[in-house]
Chains A and B, each alone.
Chain A
Amino acid sequence: DTAVSQTPKYLVTQMGNDKSIKCEQNLGHDTMYWYKQDSKKFLKIMFSYNNKELIINETVPNRFSPKSPDKAHLNLHINSLELGDSAVYFCASSQATGFEAFFGQGTRLTVV
């Protein structure tokens, strides 16, 4: 059983398109995250949700919109994709304060 699963694993799309990445966790965690990992491997937090409530919204273009229909799911929708959006996007979840985050396998997004 996969604890945190993201789909798709790879996504190639043209500039200007709109795309979504889905994330689901079956660990019963209350908190879910989206991270962006750039070409230099730097991991930057984008959003964090706790029990479907948006808690952290870093300086991210408003073309990025997270949606949490329930606490087991956190999807990421990206409008008007740009070349600079090319990166690996990781979904993660954690249980409570202090506990480690469990990561999905990442989605490699390539904008051409």
Chain B
Amino acid sequence: AQTVTQSQPEMSVQEAETVTLSCTYDTSESDYYLFWYKQPPSRQMILVIRQEAYKQQNATENRFSVNFQKAAKSFSLKISDSQLGDAAMYFCAYRFTYNNNDMRFGAGTRLTVKP
């Protein structure tokens, strides 16, 4: 079974600084997708970024970028120029390409942004 591990229960960053959230996963598949979701206090789950495993290039969305290391099964999220509104729970998620019904989440990292 696929598992997703987020080893940092909590992280803190100063406003305008950069922070990296870690995620590792376990799979025997070669084709899959990885995601980072943000859950602010409103509890709405918001997609931050998506990475296809077959793409070597790391995904980027404005201030958010990933470091995808397929061989190491690592998928970290870097937030640059952190803003107060970035404070939230961040979840890493895995989805196997050929089983469109199985999307697994890590335990989450709570990010605090200090002014």
A residues near B (Cβ < 8 Å) are: 30-31, 33, 35, 40-45, 48-50, 55-56, 88, 90, 92, 94, 96-103, 105-106, 108
Nearest CB of chain A from residue B33's CB, rounded to whole Å? 4
Instruction: Pull 12 A–B residue pairs with CB atoms less than 8 Å apart, ordered by A.
Output: A41-B39, A45-B104, A49-B101, A55-B101, A56-B101, A92-B45, A92-B103, A97-B97, A98-B52, A98-B100, A100-B47, A102-B47
Question: How many Å lie between the Cα of A48 and that of B103 in the bound state?
Answer: 10
Interface of chain B: mostly helix, strand, loop or mixed: strand
Tell me whether A45 and B108 are in contact (CB under 8 A). Answer: no
Tell me whether B100 and A97 are in contact (CB under 8 A). Answer: yes
Task: Using C-beta atoms within 8 Å of the partner chain, give the interface range for chain B.
Answer: 20 to 34
Residues of the B chain whose Cβ atoms lie less than 8 Å from the Cβ of A106:
43-45
Q: Which listed residue, A43, A55, A56, touches B91 by the CB 8 Å rule?
A: A43
Tell me whether A100 and B35 are in contact (CB under 8 A). Answer: yes
Residues of the A chain whose Cβ atoms lie less than 8 Å from the Cβ of B61:
none
Question: How many Å lie between the Cα of A88 and that of B33 in the bound state?
Answer: 25
Tell me whether A45 and B103 are in contact (CB under 8 A). Answer: yes
Q: Which listed residue, B43, B99, B100, touches A88 by the CB 8 Å rule?
A: B43
Give B83-115 as 1s and 0s: 1 = Cβ < 8 Å from A's Cβ atoms. Answer: 000000101010101111111110110100000
Tell me whether B97 and A98 are in contact (CB under 8 A). Answer: yes
